[in-house]
Amino acid sequence: MARRRQLYEGKAKILFEGPEPGTLVQYFKDDATAGNGAKHGIITGKGVLNNRISEYIMLRLQEIGIPTHFIRRINMREQLIREVEIIPLEIVVRNIAAGSIAKRLGIPEGTRLPRAIVEYYYKNDALGDPMVAEEHITAFGWACPHDMDDMVAMSLRVNDFLTGLFAGVGISLVDFKLEFGRVWEGEEMRIILADEISPDNCRLWDAKTNEKLDKDRFRRDMGQVEEAYQEVARRLGILPEAGNGDHKGSDTMQ
Ligand code: 5GP
């Protein structure tokens, strides 16, 4: 059986050509990297969990009117998505100091920020995803001021909604990273949410104990990484069923 054509392989996902023009298949790997690829490992089952968690979150966001690239889940590791032209930015929203902001500004990890803070990073592995200002983004033409307004408004809505969603299952949403892409509908260009939303790109802490339930467990060699991702899925009520379809670049298309 012919394999679908692979278009792109990233650190945690692979994109294959989709069944129709304008669609892609997003395959979730178990690979984990940190420190811009300096550290690599396999977290067994991570791809299956992230596929389900991201599906669940994207569907909930669509319900409140956030446009996303998600179409439907195909199997344990794959989802059908809309093809977008990725905007080369990582938009980070922070509610509690952790990670790079804690280090950069000397704020103790765990400090609640006075309000949600939005930051921009230029998506470029060779440069280590440097932080940039809106000035760089508009001057270099990665996005125009109107695009920025759209992305910031959507990011803050995502933050409000997900903060509540996770609070409902006893999890604090500390921070997260979003990526957006452009789609054309006739002459009209629209910006929609792309990539994934999962414990790979969110910091999620147990609301009572502050136990980390996200990729920091891998980044900081804390162990029990898969268990933490499972716990997030369990609390959201979406632990994946056992079954097939769990193989790389599967030939089956439903
Ligand atoms: P920080 O800037 O503190 O390292 O990351 C802030 C948030 O964005 C964290 O939730 C982190 O998981 C996410 N994030 C930032 N950059 C990346 C990235 O390149 N890949 C992934 N998966 N997440 C990122």
Q: What is the mean pLDDT of each run of 10 residues along the chain (254 residues)?
A: 84 97 98 91 97 98 98 98 98 98 98 98 96 98 98 98 98 98 96 98 98 98 97 92 46 34
What does the DSSP assignment read for 153-180?
HHHHHHHHHHHHHHHTTTEEEEEEEE-E
- Say yes or no: CB of residue 129 within 6 Å of ligand 1: yes
DSSP H or E run through 135: helix 134-139
Locate tokens 């898969």: which residue?
A: 226
The pLDDT, as a whole number, for residue 241 is 56
Nearest to 88 by CA among 65, 121, 62: 121
Ligand 1 atom with the shortest distance to the CA of 101: 3
Of all protein residues, the one whose alpha carbon is nearest to atom 20 of ligand 1 is 201
Ligand 1: centre distance to CA 224 (Å) = 20
Ligand 1: centre distance to CA 177 (Å) = 6
| Full-model pTM | 0.94
What contacts 114, CB < 8 A, 6 or more positions away? none
From CA 54, how far away is CA 60, in angstroms rounded? 10
Note whether 32 and 200 are within 8 A (CB).
Answer: yes
- Say yes or no: CB of residue 176 within 6 Å of ligand 1: yes
From CA 135, how far away is CA 65, in angstroms rounded? 29
* Cα angle 246, 221, 54; round to 5: 40
Note whether 155 and 162 are within 8 A (CB).
Answer: no
- Say yes or no: CB of residue 212 within 6 Å of ligand 1: no
Ligand 1 atom with the shortest distance to the CA of 121: 16
Ligand 1: centre distance to CA 176 (Å) = 6
Note whether 238 and 52 are within 8 A (CB).
Answer: yes
The pLDDT, as a whole number, for residue 1 is 46
- Say yes or no: CB of residue 13 within 6 Å of ligand 1: no
The pLDDT, as a whole number, for residue 114 is 98
From CA 195, how far away is CA 176, in angstroms rounded? 12
To test the pocket of ligand 1, the residue of 11, 92, 117 to mutate (highest count of ligand atoms within 8 Å of its CB) is 92
- Say yes or no: CB of residue 54 within 6 Å of ligand 1: no
Locate tokens 């270099």: which residue?
A: 140
